[in-house]
Amino acid sequence: MGMNIDSNKLDNSNVSNPWKGFQQVDEGGDIYQQIFKYSKLPTIVHDMDMNIIEANDSAIKEFGFTKNEFLNKRIFDLHTKDELEHSAEVLEQMKQKNKLSAETRFMRKDGSIFMAEVTPCKYMVGDKPIIHVHIQNITERKQAEKKLQEVNTALQVEMAKVELNAREIEIKNKELEEFAYVAAHDLKAPITNLNVLKDMINLDGMVNSKDIQLFNKLKNNIEQVKKTVFILNDVINFKTTLRDKKERLKFENVFKEIEESISEQFKESNTTIDVDFSECSIIHYPPLHLKSIMQNLLTNSLKYRNPNKVLKIKVKTREVNGRVCLTVEDNGLGFDGEKYSKKVFRLFKRLHTHVEGKGVGMYIVNSIVEAHGGKIEVKSMPKEGAMFSIYLNKGKNE
């Protein structure tokens, strides 16, 4: 069979030649015999007794034998001893299947071992069955797989350690919560008793001004400790609600409930409220949590209103990338947002001390929001009001 090939196109010295790297084939010879000989994939042909009949140049190079040495060997001679049984099994499978792929180990002339994926194919040459085997060296791949497995195993061990540490931390946190609950709860009774006792003491019986001064200091300290203990009890009791189930809630309904409970405060301060829940009217959230967030934000605006202005509050909801955002904006006293935006959510932290407060409301708001995977953004400037943007939940891609 003749082939018309322009020898100039096969000139490997020409860098711009698109056929550079192609193996030159003698068009006057057996084309397919040459393709077998020059194939980059090691290929061996053997009979059903495993005697090697033919091997291409890649196989000779891979195994390190000469062509004559190869033709005097059986396939079993190329395997490691522990692979002989497996090789026999593959041969038996070949008798039953038309297509097969298997992994095995071969030994080169110098004794070195390599892993290979073999793909044997069955042919009949006249009345004689033969096996044509492609051999692909997969040693590097198997080493990489082994390394990956070792890394995965090590990772699983580390993950198990992390999970164990997480469980231990969870247990410790639970123990601390229980201790805090017991401590705060047990302190309520003696603090209450002290408070009652100090009210029973008659100052008229004290004639020494120094004694009266000391008693007043004691009285103030008792009241402060009582206030702190009761706040801690409130916080601990709130923490137990963080696992409350979510319900389908309408912002408008929750707002109306809050508005009714603090309507007198709105009237006294002549507050105007602009409410807009049109962009996002519904959320799945624990009722107590949503009510606590909205109520704390609204009462916060009332507490820190500017006495020289009519208080105006804007309440709005919207959806941003799957997140429900509640915004409460006012024209109150405000604060330095860049300096205090993080501190405002700390327990017992108050930025304005001229009004009554516990310094716990915004701490609770932040705790709720974080528990649901949300976040809070604050914009504020002194005497220019504040805007709290509460992202109540996680985004779609989080």
Question: Which residues have a Cβ under 8 Å from the Cβ of 249 and sit 6 or more positions away?
Answer: 282, 283, 284, 285, 287, 290
pLDDT at residue 180, as a whole number: 61
Decide: 362 and 301 in contact? Cβ < 8 Å: no
Instruction: Check residues 188 and 298 and name the one with the higher pLDDT.
Output: 298
pLDDT of residue 166: 78
Give me the CATH code for the 247-391 domain, please.
3.30.565.10
Report the C-alpha gap between 258 and 263 in whole angstroms: 8
Q: Where are the domains of the chain?
A: 23-137, 143-239, 247-391
Instruction: Report d(CA 52, CA 58) in Å as an integer.
Output: 15
**In angstroms, rounded to a whole number, what is the distance separating the alpha carbons of residues 260 and 125?**
97
Which pair of tokens denotes residue 341? 């935006």
Write the DSSP assignment of 30-58 as a string of letters: -HHHHHHHH-SS-EEEEETT-BEEEE-HH
pLDDT > 80? residue 177: no
Helix residue ranges, H only, 240-376: 251-261, 263-268, 287-303, 337-340, 361-371
End-to-end CA distance of the chain: 65
Task: Give the mean model confidence (pLDDT) for residues 87-102.
Answer: 72
- Rounded Cα distance between 60 and 55, Å, is 7
Among 17-26, 278-287, 339-348, top mean pLDDT goes to 278-287
- DSSP at 368: H
What's the fold here for domain 23-137?
Beta-Lactamase (3.30.450)
SS3 assignment, position 101: coil
Beta strands (DSSP E) in 30-171 are 43-47, 52-55, 102-107, 113-125, 128-137
List pLDDT tens digits, range 196-250: 777 777 666 665 777 777 777 777 777 777 766 776 776 666 666 767 788 899 9
- With residues binned 3-state (H G I as helix, E B as strand, rest as coil), the percentages for the chain, rounded to 5, are 50, 20, 30
> Which pLDDT score is estimated for 9?
45
What is the value of pTM for the model shown?
A: 0.48
Q: What number of residues does the chain have?
A: 398
List C-alpha distances in Å: 11 to 6, 37, 121, 187.
9, 21, 35, 96
Q: What are the angstrom distances between the C-alpha of 219 and each of 1, 184, 213, 228?
A: 115, 20, 10, 14
Burial of 150 per CB tally in 10 Å (0-12, 13-18, 19+): exposed
Q: b/e string for 355-376 if b means 16 or more Cβ within 10 A?
A: eebeebbbbbbbbbbeebebbb
Torsion sign, CA atoms 193, 196, 199, 205: negative
- Domains 23-137 and 247-391 belong to one CATH topology: no
Q: What are the residues whose beta carbons fall under 8 Å from the beta carbon of 248, sequence distance 6 or more?
A: 282, 283, 284
User: Cα 241 vs. chain centroid, distance in angstroms?
Assistant: 25
Q: Does residue 89 register a pLDDT over 80? A: no
